[in-house]
Structure 1
Amino acid sequence: MSIARIYTGGCQCGAVRYRVEGTLGHPHLCHCRMCQKASGNYFLPLAGAAREAFALTRGEPAWFRSSDIVRRGFCRDCGTPLFFDETAAATLGIALGSLDDPDDVRPVEQSGVESRVVWFAHLPELAESECNSGEGGEARHLAILASNRQHPDYDTDHWPPEEEP
């Protein structure tokens, strides 16, 4: 007997949440110019979820039809990119950064490499730092944590939490 894996995720503000039961197929980094623009980033990590294994658990995404065959789902409240929907496909593309645990799915391929930024191969050469480094240091980091309005990386019964009197 096999046990199906359950993936959950959603947008930054918590207005849209989803659940996938099963596997996420073909995890990859897409470098095409459309995915760059849709994510506001240099690439968009995606994987496919079988439509029958996918369910929205909170809210409804907004949609932008980026071509005749693809629409892209995002949160209308906070703007988080969530879905790549090639409407005739059997799967729905999930933006891997929207997973509650993005470490769960490792990309196996890069696509759209004709649009990959030329210096991408040099990322390992860049200096690294933690969030509490730089201007303001630890105090800035603690102030951000104390006022964080980002939805936690797990399902909640209600979001945002009710304000205390």
Structure 2
Amino acid sequence: MIEGGCFCGSIRYQIEGALQHARACHCSRCRKAFSGASSAYAEVAAGSTFRWIAGEDKLTRHMSGHGWGLAFCSACGSTLCGMFGDQVHGVTLGCIDGDPGVRIEMHIFVGSKAPWDHIAGDAPQFEERPPSPSPSAE
């Protein structure tokens, strides 16, 4: 079971299952939305169950178009998750209690990272989106 919540503790969630595709996005929009050098987040894996266990009434959603958006705590401002429509698509790694079971697999949009940002570690870096996987030859 993965659990997490906001800075002030008003909002709590649980994920029964796993996370996948952890990444850090360094685009200017994510820097503003997450108030940092990047957004560190992972997708909720297919077959996993996400549920709010406290404070869902304190969630504020900001939808940015094409059905995508963010949800954050209206009391403390912690960005908790990415939304697609009414469904939680992924969660911010910084709001998870303990080990989320994933590591950053890639850094994306590093071509527009902040000039003061220094990316460490050995995860691959992509100027924009990572290349799409090639169709397998059969």
TM-score (ref. length: structure 1): 0.63
Q: Which residue pairs with 2:82 in the alignment?
A: 84
Amino acid at match of 1:31: H
Which residue among 45, 49, 55 is the counterpart of 1:53? 49
Unaligned runs of 5+ residues in structure 2 are: 122-138
Q: Which residue pairs with 2:108 in the alignment?
A: 111
Query: C-alpha separation between the residues in 2 aligned to 1:81 and 1:120?
Result: 20
Q: How far is 1:102 from its partner?
A: 5.0
Query: C-alpha separation between the residues in 1 aligned to 2:116 and 2:33?
Result: 20
Query: C-alpha separation between the residues in 2 aligned to 1:65 and 1:73?
Result: 9
Say whether 1:33 aligns with 2:28.
Answer: yes
Query: C-alpha separation between the residues in 2 aligned to 1:44 and 1:122?
Result: 13
Q: Is the Cα–Cα contact under 8 Å of residues 96 and 105 in structure 1 kept in the other structure?
A: no
Amino acid at match of 1:70: W
Q: SS at the partner of 1:38?
A: helix
Larger Rg: 1
* CA deviation profile, 1:101-123 (whole Å, cap 9, x unmatched): 25643111111222212343376
Moved more, 28-37 or 43-52: 43-52
Amino-acid identity (%)? 31
Between Structure 1 and Structure 2, which shows a larger proportion of strand residues? 2
Q: Is the Cα–Cα contact under 8 Å of residues 69 and 82 in structure 2 kept in the other structure?
A: yes
Q: 1:77 to 1:119 in 2, by over 3 A?
A: closer
Q: Which residue pairs with 2:126 in the alignment?
A: none
* CA deviation profile, 1:78-126 (whole Å, cap 9, x unmatched): 11110111339x86110100001256431111112222123433769xx
Amino acid at match of 1:75: C
Query: C-alpha separation between the residues in 2 aligned to 1:33 and 1:79?
Result: 18
Query: C-alpha separation between the residues in 1 aligned to 2:112 and 2:89?
Result: 23
Amino acid at match of 1:14: G
Amino acid at match of 2:37: Y
Amino acid at match of 2:50: F
